[in-house]
Amino acid sequence: MAASASAPPTPGSLKRIVAASLIGTTVEWYDFFLYGSAAALVFNKLFFPGSDPLVGTLLSFLTYAVGFAARPLGALVFGHYGDRLGRKKLLVLSLLMMGGATFAIGLLPTHATVGTAAPVLLTLLRLIQGFALGGEWGGAVLLVSEHGDARRRGFWASWPQTGAPAGQLLATGVLSALTALLSDAEFVSWGWRVPFLLSGVLVLLGLWIRLSVDESPVFKAALANAESRRAEGAAVERMPLVAVLKYHWRDVLIAMGARMAENISYYVITAFVLVYATTHTGLSQQTALNAVLIASALHFAVIPAWGALSDRIGRRPVYLLGAVGVAVWAFPFFALVDSTDFGLLLLAVSVGLVFHGAMYAPQAAFFAEMFATRMRYSGASIGAQFSSVAAGAPAPLIATALLADFDSPTPIALYVILAAVLTLIAVGVAKETRSRDLGAADTARPGGAPEPAGDTGAGAGDAAAAGEGSAAGGARRA
């Protein structure tokens, strides 16, 4: 039974699972980043006219931040039902919600047509986007993590993470092509709608692939074991959220701290740089977009490499390297952008994203390995998404406000360095999780008391002390 619960799938089936997670996260992040790029380039003109350009951009980024505010709620709802019903069902729902909201943004009337109703509708759709994305990430990385084995989990689980640069690549690529082919007036008039409407095609493709994969075997084993325990009259299983906060609160805090530098640096490097390069250094929109476009391709390539390295030397060393890297690179980043040379701008964004990838790649396996199966979706999602409210959500807003107040990149670089310090502390106190058996993470003693995690590195309360066990755990106790 232990083997059936945790045996790796065939290479062909694992590739389908990875493809299903990757296409879904690519679509989700395409939708999310498309909004961020449009907020920097065009929404200030269409939905917040009459303001000073920088003030209009601030208001536009404010609606961008609203999407982050909805992500914790999505994490709670999708995490709860994902731990109760399974990963696959909730991933299909998140894809439909995100794609539908993005398609609707492409049909929105502007302020010139309906007045203040336009930014209100835009904000509502942004909330739906954020809610869906809050549930997407945890399920996508768990679907891969729970199908694979510990030996190469970091590598395979890093592939859904490449959905972020792939989505950024698609969103920036489409916007870059449109700005190159259309005049500024045409782009503002109708061209900006095209990439939002294209989301509908991507959703259909993602839905077709995602429906073709099976549920995680680790989850099915844990669910069968929980049902067996209920049939035997065992204590009622706690709600996933309650169990996470009771037994995994330390892991949640570690995950939140780990996300600070990763989240803040990413949105400064990819979203705020569009504002900084065009308003502060005088570079064209096309130049800034091209730099992000090329650097995103490099970002996509290095993430699996960082994930594979985390399988060799551990999640923590790779993550810590990335945090130190973005801190050291903060001041050179802005110095290179200030040069107004495209090659140096490209170097600034590329190196920043390489260091970011060192944090982002092992994050999927690292967070999955912290939590027990029947609370893993909730735990990973809560840790990841609640931190986004304090990190990614206000990052472009804070950076833009600092630029407006000080007319200098120095406070923004210090802001990134502070985030890196917080991440170094969080990951520094965490235990290594690289060799953890996800099936064995569900071990529980009679009465629901947690078994010690030993050297598995999952932190306090790592065993599923929510009144559940697993076949793998039973075999280990025997």
Most confident region among 73-87, 126-140, 413-427 by mean pLDDT: 413-427
Whether the model clears a pTM of 0.85, i.e. scores above it, the answer is no
| Stretch among 87-96, 223-232, 368-377 having the lowest mean pLDDT | 223-232
Residue 402: band (very low, low, confident or very high) from pLDDT cuts 50, 70, 90 = very high
Query: Which residues, listed in sequence order, are joined to residue 444 by a DSSP beta bridge?
Result: 450
| Stretch among 4-8, 172-176, 428-432, 440-444 having the lowest mean pLDDT | 4-8
Burial grade of 295 (CB within 10 A; 0-12, 13-18, 19 or more):
buried
Query: How confident is the model at residue 364, as a pLDDT?
Result: 92
Q: What angle in degrees, to the nearest 10, is found between the helix axes of 163-181 and 11-41? A: 40
Query: How confident is the model at residue 469, as a pLDDT?
Result: 35
Residues whose CB falls within 8 Å of the CB of residue 290, separated by 6 or more in sequence, listed in order: 176, 342
Residue 300: band (very low, low, confident or very high) from pLDDT cuts 50, 70, 90 = very high
298 close to 145: Cβ distance less than 8 angstroms: no
Backbone angles phi and psi of 28, in degrees to 5: -60, -45
Query: How confident is the model at residue 343, as a pLDDT?
Result: 95
275: closest CA among 41, 35, 66, 33? 41
C-alpha torsion angle, residues 219, 220, 225, 226 (rounded to 10): 70
Mean pLDDT for the chain overall = 82
Residue 109: band (very low, low, confident or very high) from pLDDT cuts 50, 70, 90 = very high
Q: Express each pLDDT in 406-419 by its tens digit.
A: 989 999 999 999 99
Q: Express each pLDDT in 65-102 by its tens digit.
A: 777 788 889 999 998 888 888 888 888 898 889 888 98
